[in-house]
């Protein structure tokens, strides 16, 4: 909502009146101005401008103006997913135990980057083999399983590094210990990608995508995966059905059969 408000404020300053008093021609001219001006704003600014206008027009019952707004087609991209062999290669690449655990938690628990940064020691339940993910997307808590492999690594890491609050520490400008930043996680992923030699465009979210896809391929039902990922609706999870190798018979290339007979 803050992004919408910021974009609506830009429109109000541009016309020196509230956006709800604009006519259709003014709205479309402004959107054209955003697209063609020399200092072109980001795609997200343009998108939030349209969404903000839609929200404002809906609140004030301005159906004609809402209908005049252009539709925003979402690119139908499938997520980048690592094979099981590539995951093993990727997790093995870092020399530092902390870095291996950061990557292992992203993949083994299906975490978003900010969720990993927010993990505290009190969230690790080694007895129940569960991780308490606090205030994920949509400010929802959830529990996800912790593998025995991660538990062994975390115990060794905690005994060696002695973190006091956050599971994974970073440092601020003053050199004080703080929670590991998203930028720090992204740096670990980039460095590991280079060391691993894998050519795919791997981000921290690629490990989450791989988590969901591999669980599907290993037989876990999609409703449970939805809950583990913390998705608000099943539509966000269904995309993995298009990536996972599932079905009565797995798809194959005719070349696999052509020379085998």
What is the percentage of the chain residues whose pLDDT exceeds 70? Answer: 90
Looking at residue 240, what DSSP letter applies? G
**Residue 90 to residue 45: CA distance in whole angstroms:** 35
21 labelled catalytic: no
Of 172 and 19, which is predicted with more confidence?
A: 19
100 labelled catalytic: no
What is the percentage of the chain residues whose pLDDT exceeds 90? Answer: 51
* pLDDT tens digits for range 69-119: 877 666 678 899 999 999 999 999 999 999 999 999 999 999 999 999 999
14, 54, 137, 142: the active-site residue: 137
pLDDT of 76 reads 72
* pLDDT tens digits for range 65-79: 877 787 766 667 889
122 labelled catalytic: no
Note whether 98 and 161 are within 8 A (CB): yes
Burial, 232: exposed, middle or buried (Cβ in 10 Å; 0-12, 13-18, 19+)?
A: exposed
**Residue 9 to residue 261: CA distance in whole angstroms:** 68
Which of the listed CATH numbers 3.10.20.90, 3.20.20.140, 1.10.443.10, 3.40.1190.10 matches domain 84-242?
1.10.443.10
Parse the chain into domains and list their residue ranges.
Answer: 2-68, 84-242
112 labelled catalytic: yes
48, 208, 214, 226: the active-site residue: 208
Rounded mean pLDDT of 43-53? 84
Most confident of the ranges 73-77, 135-139, 166-170: 166-170
CA angle 115, 118, 124 (to 5 degrees): 90
10, 100, 112, 193: the active-site residue: 112
Contact residues for 250 (Cβ-Cβ < 8 A; gap 6+) = none
pLDDT of 75 reads 65
Alpha helices in 93-139 (DSSP H): 97-108, 113-117
157 labelled catalytic: no
259 labelled catalytic: no
**Residue 138 to residue 27: CA distance in whole angstroms:** 31
* pLDDT tens digits for range 220-257: 888 999 999 999 888 888 888 888 877 655 666 665 66
What's the distance, CA 77 to chain centroid? 14
């Amino acid at each position: 909502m803050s992004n919408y408000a910021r974009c609506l404020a830009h429109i109000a300053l541009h016309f020196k009146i509230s956006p709800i008093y604009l006519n259709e021609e003014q709205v479309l001219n402004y959107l054209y101005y955003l697209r063609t001006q020399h200092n072109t704003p980001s795609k997200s600014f343009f998108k939030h401008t349209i969404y903000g206008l839609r929200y404002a027009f809906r609140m004030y019952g301005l159906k004609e103006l809402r209908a005049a707004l252009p539709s925003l087609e979402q690119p139908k991209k499938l997520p980048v997913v690592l094979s099981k062999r590539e995951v093993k290669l990727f997790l093995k690449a870092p020399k530092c135990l902390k870095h291996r655990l950061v990557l292992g938690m992203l993949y083994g628990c299906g975490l978003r980057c900010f969720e990993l940064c927010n993990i505290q020691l009190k969230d690790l339940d080694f007895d129940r083999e569960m991780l308490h993910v606090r205030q994920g997307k949509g400010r929802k808590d959830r529990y996800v399983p912790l593998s025995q492999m991660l538990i062994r690594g975390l115990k060794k890491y905690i005994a060696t590094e002695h973190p006091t609050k956050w599971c994974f520490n970073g440092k601020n400008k003053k050199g004080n210990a703080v929670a590991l930043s998203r930028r720090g996680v992204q740096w670990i992923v980039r460095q590991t990608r280079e060391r691993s030699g894998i050519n795919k465009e791997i981000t921290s979210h690629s490990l989450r995508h791989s988590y969901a896809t591999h669980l599907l391929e290993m037989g876990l039902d999609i409703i449970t995966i939805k809950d583990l990922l913390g998705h608000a609706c099943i539509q966000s999870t269904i995309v993995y059905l298009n990536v996972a190798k599932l079905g009565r018979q797995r798809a194959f290339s005719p070349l696999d059969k052509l020379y085998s007979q």
